[in-house]
Amino acid sequence: MVSDSVTVAGIDCGTNSIRLKVARVHPDGRMDDVVPRMLRVVRLGQGVDRTHRFAPEALERTYAASREFAAVLAGCRIDGLRFVATSATRDADNRDEFEDGVESILGVRPEVISGTEEADLSFLAATGIVRRSELRPPYLVIDLGGGSTEMVMGGDGVASPSTKVSQAFSMDVGSVRMTERHLLSDPPTEDQIGSARRDVDEHIDEAFEHVEAARARSIIGVSGTVTTMAALALGLREYDHAAVDGRCIPLTTAFSVNDRFLRMTRAERATYKTIHPGRVDVVGGGALVWSRVLERVSQAALEDHGEAITSFMASEHGLLDGIVLDYGRRLLARTV
């Protein structure tokens, strides 16, 4: 007998934030939220780029958020919980300590997934939920996190399905990593900005060896950095998920806004309610990465087929949605 639906919980623990989504997943891929999704900025990756270890205070912030999530889950009837950890945990030598702590609180052990699997899950959610009629395949999904940035290409819709991943690569660049590695002044100096750009470009060069981004006709951006910068580009005074999701942002506008917030002081950025307080100190680094990726991909597309990409679509549906959707589908398959 085929189940009508399953209720699953997913936790995405990244370098900067940890998120919880509890949803009812249906066989056709629809998801209905059971409780509002939750986000806590815990900065788990604090100093990991330099020390390759989790700081005690970063672990405690993450445990505190996990205890908060456990209290919410105690009031829900779920068929399963999947906890996924990404870039910072991949890099930390003391990840066993983190995994043991989370397991003691939530009863499940974190799965430290590869950058490739992270890319696959982000692509699944971004292409499965956004209004694809507004986009032309092949789609390039960019998931810009705190410690890594995933570049994922889908099929062209003719030779291979447009919603199926054809190529993916994970770059070790992100908002936290670039801020801690290069943007050390407040505001950053021109030398620091130049150093960060060269670092990002080297990683993009490597990514282009694995992902034929030049074939892309559409860019979909996911993650907190991308949606925050999209909200700022739209001129929103406060963050509004519905206003951002599925909106197309001209690249010229994105470049201007990204550069302006990169060069602001932290105090100036803090005056914008659109930016989550936990992102204020690192969103400039994320904006720098985002601009470089957009510019390089657009230029590559122009050189490849004579048509530059002039906008990107912002999606609220990234890795967390992919975790829940994929896990729900697997649980449904077991009921057949």
DSSP letter for 215, please.
G
Contact 296, 194 (CB under 8 A): no
* Architecture of the domain whose range is 6-115: 2-Layer Sandwich (3.30)
Contact 137, 234 (CB under 8 A): no
Q: What is the pLDDT of residue 160?
A: 87
Instruction: Name the CATH superfamily for 131-316.
Output: Exopolyphosphatase. Domain 2 (3.30.420.150)
Q: What is the pLDDT of residue 132?
A: 55
Tokens of 30: 């629809």
| CA 78 to mean position of chain CA atoms | 25
**How many Å apart are CA 150 and CA 7, to the nearest integer?**
28
Q: What is the pLDDT of residue 294?
A: 98
Q: What is the pLDDT of residue 157?
A: 83
Quickly tell me which residue has 């995405």 as its tokens.
12
Domain with CATH 3.30.420.40 in the chain: 6-115
Q: What is the pLDDT of residue 156?
A: 85
Contact 116, 171 (CB under 8 A): no
Q: What is the pLDDT of residue 29?
A: 84
Q: What is the pLDDT of residue 28?
A: 85
Q: What is the pLDDT of residue 336?
A: 57
Q: Mark 286-317 as b/e (b = at least 16 C-beta within 10 Å).
A: bbbbbbbbbbbbbebbeeeeeeebebbbbbbb
pTM for the structure as a whole: 0.90
Vertex 221 angle, CA 150 and 277, to 5°: 95
Domain with CATH 3.30.420.150 in the chain: 131-316
Q: Mark 3-34 as b/e (b = at least 16 C-beta within 10 Å).
A: eebbbbbbbbbbbbbbbbbbbbbbbeeebeeb
Q: What is the pLDDT of residue 1?
A: 46
Tokens of 178: 């670039």
pLDDT by residue for the chain (336 residues), tens only, comes to 456 899 999 999 998 899 999 999 999 888 999 999 999 999 999 998 899 999 999 999 999 999 999 999 999 999 999 999 987 788 899 999 999 999 999 999 999 988 888 888 988 888 876 665 678 899 999 999 999 999 999 988 888 888 889 999 999 999 999 999 999 999 999 999 999 999 999 999 999 999 999 999 999 999 999 999 999 999 999 999 999 999 999 999 999 999 999 999 999 999 999 999 999 999 999 999 999 999 999 999 999 999 999 999 999 998 999 999 999 999 999 875
